Amino acid sequence: MAKLPSRREETLGGYIVHGIPFPVETDPDSLAFLKKMAPIVIEQDYKITYLHSYAQDSPWFAALTNKRIIASQEPDSGYTYAMPRGADMYSGEETRWIDITERTAKVHAFTVCFFGSEEFLPETPYVLALIEFEGVNTLLLTRLMGVDPNAATLDWIGMEVKPRFLRNSKLKPTDVYFVPSE
């Protein structure tokens, strides 16, 4: 029969605490100060693996990975969404995918962001734009690169742009961005 461990192995990983007050006397009254003791606060790194499914939007991200932009189109009306949408908003009927990568694209509106989420904060200022595609009813929110955010001009409205894709997909909407067509 194998010998079972009688002691838990200790490691120095995580955090080490020193000098937490506790009475050394064995008198029960000496423990009364514990009611007045400030709470012990511990700061430690916390890591979690998050499993996320793109579900019905998976083809859209697969397209970005393959340097393509696809749109969702309602089968009856032909109404086309630049962002993925699995079902017609009125009938609930499943939409179909169409490739819009080569369609003419223009800046519809933009803003210069001087603050951003943790991921984008080091890149501020940056330009966030709504892109309109020929024959598509809604707009695509994305980054506009190749322009100076410190010299923003209304001349950018209507400017033709073309998509660029990250070489190594991160399976995020930021895998695509746009630059002036020039």
pLDDT at 87: 87
Any idea of the CA torsion for 79, 83, 85, 88, to the nearest 10 degrees?
-20
pLDDT at 42: 74
Helix (H, G, I), strand (E, B) or coil at 130: strand
pLDDT at 72: 95
Task: Give pLDDT tens digits along the chain (182 positions).
Answer: 777 777 777 776 666 666 777 777 777 777 777 777 777 777 777 789 988 888 888 999 999 999 999 999 998 899 999 999 988 888 888 999 999 999 999 999 999 999 988 778 888 999 999 999 999 999 999 999 999 999 999 999 999 999 999 999 888 888 999 999 97
Distance, in Å, from the CA atom of 182 to the CA atom of 179, rounded to the nearest integer, reads: 9
Distance, in Å, from the CA atom of 153 to the CA atom of 176, rounded to the nearest integer, reads: 23
pLDDT at 157: 98
pLDDT at 129: 98
